[in-house]
A and B are shown apart, each in its own frame.
Chain A
Amino acid sequence: MAGMRTVEELLSIAPEKYEISVFGAEAYGNYNRIMLSAVLSGEKVIEDIMINNRQWYEENAITLYAGPDKTVVKIDRDAKQVHAQDGLSVSYDVLLIATGSRPFILPIPGHQLAGVICFRDIIDVNTMLSYSKTHKTAVVLGGGLLGLEAANGLALQGMAVTVLHDGEFLLNRQLDPQAATLLRKALEQRGIKFKMCAKTEALLGDDNAHVSAVKFVDGDVLDCDLFVMAIGIRPNMALAQEAGLVCERGIVVNDGLQTSDPCIYSVGECIQHRGNTFGLVAPLFDQAKVCADHLGATGQAEFIHLPTATKLKVTGINVFSVGDFIGEEGTQIIHFSDAKAGVYKKLVIKDEQLVGAVLYGDTADSSWYQSLLENNQNIAGVRDSLIFGYTYATETEAA
């Protein structure tokens, strides 16, 4: 997604500058990966989430090489060429690497059994959808964003779902315990079961080498027809590493998204910028904008990693968090809760500026909070109505 967004940005500022070729290992054009959860839950189909179909590529005179056989296997930096699986090689003046990330697979015994999958692409979604028609129980490993979205989708498709989470509360990187408790209650009301502080020992298989149960360190065993691992991602940087580009936890880029080779740029979940790697969509789009500027225009833009907001894509459950939402020392906290509406909000203030927020149940003002936070705006004047949202705060200010 980051890659194609960069191409789009580039086309909008310098449509004639490059002759563009795009390689993709999936048989589709590019689709909105963020919406995969919606396809899984049945709210959308794959056509709904396509961003650029083949026709778009044609219209924009972009050559698309898509499908497993078009997987790029080598970058020849000296010859300035890329080589695909099927032997195709294409020259470049400038190369953009947007290889994204791979799901992390917990290397426990049984992880290679059939019915053990990740939640990464449309193939995974299709697998889950077909299992839901033939199987009953699913176990999702990981109570993070992706895991919960998978669990919700599977539950909606009719499976009995249990989420395994190693922490004490869900979304522990995105929520505080209060919000996480509300979230868990809401998901439990939808029939999803949870096993917290779960230590998985092994996956057990049946005679067909298909997963049949999960075994825990505490001795518990849980039946399982489908096991979905959603415990994080790792930048996909093998190609770059082999090409000799500087890589650490990801492909190292500067503020202009340029790798250690001046002719090669990189964006997306595969990169490492100032020590950070990326897993959420918002900064990726920022990267695309900056990268396009360097490729097609003045090259003055700099990528700045802003506090990234979290949103859970589970219909009917609105969750948002940004910044220092726990509240480190020296911060002040404003709480709001409404048991009837199922709303919980927490704002973290430091030196009369908003530095973090958790919203549960009512996220209508999330982008306003984010902009306050990004702009380091002084909120002293609206502090008393801040938590009630933009409309109230601005009304109060006017009055």
Chain B
Amino acid sequence: MTATKQVQTTCPYCGVGCGIDAVVDEPNRQIKIQGDKAHPANFGRLCSKGSALGETIELNSRLLEPVVYGQQATWSEALDLVADSFANAVKTYGPEAVAIYGSGQLLTEDYYVANKLMKGFIGSANMDTNSRLCMSSSVAGHKRAFGSDTVPGCYEDYELADMMVLIGSNTAWCHPVSFQRIRAAKDANPALKIVVIDPRRTVTCDIADLHLPLASGSDGFLFNGLLKFLAEHNVLNQAYIDQHTEGFAAAIAAANRFSVEAVAQHCLLDAADVAQFYHWFAGHEKVLSLYSQGINQSSSGTDKVDAIINCHLATGRIGKPGMGPFSLTGQPNAMGGREVGGLAHQLAAHMDFSNAGDIDRVARFWNSPNIAQKPGLPAVELFDAVYDGKIKALWIMGTNPVVSLPNADKIKQALKRCDFVAVSDCIANTDTGVFAHVLLPAQGWSEKDGTVTNSERCISRQRALLDAAGSAMPDWWILTQVARRLGFEEAFHYKKPVEIFREHAALSGFENDEVHGLRDFDISGYAHISDAAYDALQPAQWPVNRLYPKGRARIFDDGKYFTASGKAQFIAVTPQTPINLPDAEFPLVLNTGRLRDQWHTMTRTTIAAKLNQHKPEPFVEVHPDDAARYGLEAQALAQLETRWGAMLARVDIATGQKPGNVFVPMHWTEQFASWGRMGALVNPVFDPISKQPESKHTPVRIKPYRAAWYGFVLSRHELDLKGPEYLVKVKGNQFYRYELAGQSIPESWQDWFAKTVGESLLDTWFCQEYHDAAKGNYRAACLEGDRLQAVFFASAEVNLPERGWLTGLFEKPGLQVNECRALLTGLPPVGEADVGTIVCACFNVGKKTIAAAIKEKSLKTHQEVGQCLKAGTNCGSCIPEIKALL
């Protein structure tokens, strides 16, 4: 009898929503991950993050028991306190004094219960989510144009398109499996035109026929210009405009002042490139506009979304195979959150507060005593209200606002001031959890059970692979328990997720008809789904109802929209520049974004050592001209400052950066870096319609950060290392790496090192030591028998040996004599190859290994490199880097 079982589930990271085949060895709590070959999102492919999921399920970093005021507590103690705190705040200050801040990481069932509790029963719409930070401009743009928050197309369109425009999306890193699919489409059809629109020349440009490095935030100008160009070149689909849309005249009037030349000027682009893009767009019927945070995270994000949609409406290129505007969602269940109404201005099931009929309908469905009547506070304003003392009790679920929200240092202050903060998370130590009065252990991916919806409206099951760790419980359960304590037993009777799913499905179909008004989101086909059918649920694209029992690939193929008139709305867009522009004091533009191998605030991805190799430290990408202007050296440290906060980062001089722009990754937290939270820098300004913060554009200044010493510690055991001003912790395979820089040099390096790794341990270890006091160089290494235990390098200069070879030694059970001898050089024994920084995280192949193989074997293509070294043959997201080496 086999001890393993095979389970199909869904990846918990980006919005691609890849299906996973997991082979589960329950007794040993081990999981083998493979792409689900049948899943329509990925057909078996997985990216580096998804592939490493099996390495993220260890329990060390998990929150396993409830914690109340810093002490481990029982569930009933914790739940009582949450319920009492919420009840007291509501009783004393009214329902507006409490709030829930959720996350696109929650499952639809969790989300549904949270939303129902807050809006339907506590009676306030102060339920917002981190989707506000990534998707709300798309939501608002869709809603204005279509009357509904609808993504018209589907992934299949990647293969059917003749042209793809990737706008504000580093698809290669942020949606790697979609990118692989697009790359494959391009390989199969070289005539497929790909245009990348992004201030940065990212690795996504690897497959681009044209890259438009437009001025940050100027997309509105570019797409208004495109609309004018399409009109002038007779590419309009007048019949479609006439039959299915309204407001074209105003939209084209608003666009008319944007000639190609004017656009080039506004966007700081070459006019010929702009014209090329416009000509291609005009000439390709099957054109897909894929856009992401570069569009959404803007003070005019909603307008940008609509400027893009305008071009598709004007050409009638929407709702049909291979064409349409396509918002790539950031999170695994951003869409699910939108479906249940998780944003503060939404009510439920794609109904909102703008329609009194909707409020009444939902109230009746829920049998709600005191349903909220008006929108609640969106994220930035919600935390402002916490800061101002208007919100007295706050419950944060599965998200880390101290890291991710703009002006994030203010979020710390807000939480410090708040009377009561509860945090539900699967991870014990987070920057946000520090401020919690109650920590509630939520089940993590691999334990929880429910559904998620990806970018193409595809609902997939996330299934439990393992029993819950410790006392962790599903979020829906935790919410239900609090709801019952608040006196809402009847409405929160749930015993399992399927009950919630059925209710959610029923609500989506409730009075969803011609009589009451049609809504796009309708999964009433699942309203009576059996427990068994829910367990076996196969991926399907909503709507799932009487008309489309198996789901619907494309919406609007019939030209019918969900506006009052049934027609799509053109939006007259007046392009705006970002709110805060660079000035003499803060002369550069700060851009932020994701990396290939990390997810959000790194709480889970850092557990998999291999994911920490690609970009181990917070860094800032700077154009060579700016590096020269501000005296920045490659691999040295830089200090970034905005009017809101500061950050330290390693300098990465990158020609792909637009001069005047710098880029920092969004992931680092105080758990891993002393000064690495980019959120502290970002300006707290937002789109007036979508309320989405302008995270892609903040005026910033940069200068070299000079420390008295620079160093790193590699240790087999985790250290409690404090003190150095710059401190980054990186978990590796059997080691922890600490990158350090300090303003004061310890009196004795020997003592400092002994104290850092543990004096008692040193007594039983063999030590090596190198000291060049005059140059400020100190190095030490410790072995236990032949096994490497710790390494330390410190120098007055920032350039230290690459860590690659040294870190690799921790995987060895014992070191060879020549390796021991080489330790403190930091370089491999002469004649032994240094693999270099890891390029392929899946197969652990380093840059130097690849470069050497290319040279020795005269490899010409990334496929040949793959055959030779396996690099790039799994998730493929490193192919651009391999190609760069070729």
Contact = CB atoms under 8 A, between A and B. Distances in A.
A335 B770 contact: yes
Given A332-B774, A340-B768, A395 B820 contact: no
A383 B783 CA distance: 25
A395 B827 contact: yes
20 contacts: A332-B773, A333-B773, A336-B769, A337-B768, A338-B769, A338-B820, A340-B768, A340-B820, A341-B820, A383-B775, A384-B775, A385-B825, A385-B827, A388-B821, A388-B822, A388-B825, A391-B830, A395-B830, A396-B825, A396-B827
Contacts of A388: 821-822, 824-825
Contacts of A362: 821
Given A332-B772, A340-B768, A392-B827, A384 B820 contact: no
B772 A384 contact: yes
Interface string A336-359: 111111000000010000000000
Contacts of A339: 766-768
Interface residues of A, number: 21
A396 B771 CA distance: 18
B515 to A, nearest CB: 77
Contact of A336 (B770, B773, B830): B770
B265 interface: no
Contacts of A340: 766, 768, 783, 820
A339 B769 CA distance: 9
Interface in A292-349: 332-341, 349
B577 interface: no
A387 B775 contact: no
Interface string A239-271: 000000000000000000000000000000000
A116 B767 CA distance: 44
A341 B772 contact: no
Given A334-B770, A388-B822, 4 more contacts: A334-B772, A336-B768, A337-B769, A388-B821
A334 B771 contact: yes
Interface of A: 332-341, 349, 362, 383-385, 387-388, 391-392, 395-396
Contacts of B820: 338, 340-341
Contacts of B770: 334-336, 387
Contacts of B773: 332-333
Nearest to B786: A340
Contacts of B769: 335-338
A24 B830 CA distance: 50
A395 B777 CA distance: 19
A349 B773 CA distance: 11
Pick the 8 closest A-B CB pairs, nearest first: A340-B766, A332-B774, A338-B768, A334-B772, A335-B771, A339-B766, A388-B825, A391-B830
Contacts of B824: 336, 388
A383 B795 CA distance: 13
A341 B786 CA distance: 11
Contacts of B822: 388, 392
A393 B827 CA distance: 11
A271 B486 CA distance: 106
B825 A349 contact: no
Contacts of B775: 332, 383-384
Contacts of B817: 341
B771 A392 contact: no
A334 B775 CA distance: 9
A146 B827 CA distance: 39
Contacts of B766: 338-340
Contact of B772 (A338, A383, A396): A383
Nearest to A347: B772
Given A332-B773, A384-B772, A341 B830 contact: no
A332 B773 CA distance: 8
Contacts of A337: 767-769
B719 to A, nearest CB: 21
A341 B773 CA distance: 23
A330 to B, nearest CB: 11
Contacts of A395: 827, 830
Given A332-B773, A384-B772, A391-B830, A341 B767 contact: no
A384 B830 contact: no
Interface in B154-203: none
A335 B771 CA distance: 5
A349 B777 CA distance: 14
A388 B769 CA distance: 12
Interface string B812-854: 0000010011101101001000000000000000000000000
A335 B749 CA distance: 13
B830 A392 contact: yes
A349 B772 CA distance: 10
Contacts of A333: 772-774
Contacts of B774: 332-333, 349
Nearest to B815: A340
A339 B771 CA distance: 15
